[in-house]
Amino acid sequence: MHYSVVNYKKLNDHDDWRWDGEFLCFEPRHNKSYVYKIIGDILKFSQYGISIDMNEEGNGNRIYRMNEISNMFCDRLVNKYADISKEQAKKFKLTDKDVLFNRTNSQVFVGRTGIFKKFSDDEIVFASYLIRVRPNEDEILPEYLTAFLNTKYGVQDAKRRARISINQSNINAEELKRVKIPILPMILQKKVRDIFNHSFSLVNKSESLYSQAEQLLSSELNLLNWKPKHRPSFVKNYSDTESAGRYDAEYFQPMYEEIESAIKGYCGGYSLIKDEFKQNKSTFKIYGQKEYKYVEIGSVNVSNGEIIPNKVRGLELPANAKRVFKKGDVIISKVRTYRGAITIVEKDGYVGSGAFTVLRENGQINKETLFAFLHSKPLLVWSLKPNTGTSYPVIIDEDILNMPIPILPVAKQKKIAETVNESFCNREFSKRLLDIAKRGVEMAIEKDEKTAEKWIDEEVKKTGVKLD
């Protein structure tokens, strides 16, 4: 049993009206050298997102949910849409440097915070899972607010305010506003801002490189400018439904045949994924007190493939924790909700959900080409074809294993591999810089701003980056 003792007088030190141990015993550390303000006092604006049905067909505005925040940035790939009015779009449109806070979901994801950096002319909106805030920049820069809410102190103060039920946690806007933030000197806040700006340029470079790999592959299949066309009516032979064992019209949409024809008609020939890659069906013994780096389908960034594992004790691992991931494995989500959660595992030490198909190189096609192939827009569309189930649509291992894949020339595969790997390197470099910014803020709280400023300068210098 775990317990802590709190002096009764401490109850009078709070105006949050919280007397529960989860709140009182986990108050984060404060540095008495700084003025602390509740976040609500430094905001110019706060707002819940819109609650509305979403679609994957591209109807309306792209919309951020709870899963499109990673590494303190809002992701660039958004594959959900909301068909809303112009008035609603204007009200919920994200603007540059908006800070988004995920207010609901599991304890792992609640409190995740990212800054929106405008990357296109599209009007992107945000869903009700999120709270948007804009700070008064005379006191708090949005980049610093984002970094602070991602530090162990910001996370702790936010999560202790959460209301926890059986399946999820919730933090409302008023609870977020009660979180206390130190007003650090503006010179240190500007260093954090400059790191964020440079980091975002690396994110842009990473996305551009990956796009090059995808375009190279799509152009080989003459699918570079292909767009899905959903037909309301078409004719199929009854024999086709018998051989497929499916009678739903969606399965036989002609756009799926267009994709398969492009692959099977490729000049270099094609193979099946099961003939080029070996399926990883590993299992492992769970030790109750051991801490595992657990990868569930929500742990994979659908935009750039980054894995953000959850640290979970063996006793708390879900029943679906089945696989041991190895460096070089390609993992593919089988759940429609997380379509696009596909990546290459970059290091050992992860265990993962059975909701992934896990593949290893075993033939004439390299893992980077498989990754770019499965993550390309035509193949993400095709992955909707074999979906089964209604409330929780999924595909099965055999659907992926029996998928046709083009046999690209070795030189083109090598080019794709180089481009994908360079993209991943830029992604990791961006993450490294953001970790410096976050740790620098923590160091200022633990020690002082001079120590933090010196440490940040030294660590950034090691990377070879020259900040503005």
Q: Among the ranges 50-64, 92-106, 216-230, 437-451, which has the highest mean pLDDT value?
A: 437-451
How much is the average pLDDT of 100-112?
77
Lowest model confidence (mean pLDDT) among 128-137, 222-231, 259-268, 363-372? 222-231
pLDDT at site 15: 53
Q: How confident is the model at residue 160 (pLDDT cuts 50, 70, 90)?
A: confident
pLDDT at site 5: 57
How much is the average pLDDT of 105-113?
71
Angle value at C-alpha 375, between 374 and 378, nearest 5 degrees: 80
- pLDDT at residue 41 is higher than 70: yes
- pLDDT at residue 2 is higher than 90: no
Exposure b/e, 394-410, CB count within 10 A at least 16 = b: ebebebbeebbbbbbee
Enumerate domains of the chain plus CATH numbers.
8-183 (3.90.220.20), 202-219+410-468 (no CATH), 222-265+269-407 (3.90.220.20)
pLDDT at site 57: 76
Lowest model confidence (mean pLDDT) among 29-43, 50-64, 233-247? 233-247
pLDDT at site 75: 86
State the Cα–Cα distance between residues 199 and 144, nearest whole angstrom.
14
pLDDT at site 311: 87
pLDDT at site 438: 97
Q: Give the 3-state secondary structure of residue 357.
A: strand
Report the run of H or E that residue 219 belongs to, with start and end: helix 186-220
φ/ψ of 296, rounded to 5, equals -100, 175
More confident residue, 377 or 453: 453
Tens digit of each residue's pLDDT (9 = 90 or more) over 268-303: 999 999 999 999 998 888 999 999 999 988 888 887
How much is the average pLDDT of 402-413?
95
Share of the chain above pLDDT 90, in %: 58
**Under a CB-based contact definition with an 8 Å cutoff, are residues 355 and 297 in contact?**
yes
Tens digit of each residue's pLDDT (9 = 90 or more) over 367-376: 999 999 998 8
Mean pLDDT of the chain: 87
Q: How confident is the model at residue 22 (pLDDT cuts 50, 70, 90)?
A: low
pLDDT at site 143: 98
Q: How confident is the model at residue 27 (pLDDT cuts 50, 70, 90)?
A: low
**Under a CB-based contact definition with an 8 Å cutoff, are residues 66 and 102 in contact?**
yes
pLDDT at site 142: 98
- pLDDT at residue 246 is higher than 80: no
**Under a CB-based contact definition with an 8 Å cutoff, are residues 213 and 423 in contact?**
yes
Report the run of H or E that residue 70 belongs to, with start and end: strand 69-70
Helix ranges, 229-336 (H): 238-244, 254-264, 273-276
Global pTM reads 0.84
State the Cα–Cα distance between residues 293 and 308, nearest whole angstrom.
9
- pLDDT at residue 11 is higher than 60: no
- Which long-range contacts link 311-315 to residues 24+ away (Cβ below 8 Å)? 313/288, 313/289, 314/286, 314/287, 314/288, 314/289, 314/290, 315/288, 315/289
Q: Give the 3-state secondary structure of residue 158.
A: helix
pLDDT at site 388: 62
Q: How confident is the model at residue 98 (pLDDT cuts 50, 70, 90)?
A: very high
State the Cα–Cα distance between residues 110 and 103, nearest whole angstrom.
5
- pLDDT at residue 8 is higher than 60: no
- Which long-range contacts link 241-244 to residues 24+ away (Cβ below 8 Å)? none
How many CA atoms are closer than 13 Å to the CA of 91, on its beta-carbon side? Answer: 12
pLDDT at site 169: 78
Tens digit of each residue's pLDDT (9 = 90 or more) over 314-340: 998 988 888 999 999 999 998 866 677
Structure-token pair, residue 217: 């592959």
Q: How confident is the model at residue 390 (pLDDT cuts 50, 70, 90)?
A: low
pLDDT at site 439: 97
Report the run of H or E that residue 92 belongs to, with start and end: helix 86-92
pLDDT at site 373: 94
Tens digit of each residue's pLDDT (9 = 90 or more) over 174-208: 999 999 999 999 999 999 999 999 999 999 999 89
Could you tell me the sign of the dihedral formed by the alpha carbons of 7, 12, 14, 20, in that order? positive
pLDDT at site 423: 94
Q: Give the 3-state secondary structure of residue 102.
A: strand
Report the run of H or E that residue 218 belongs to, with start and end: helix 186-220
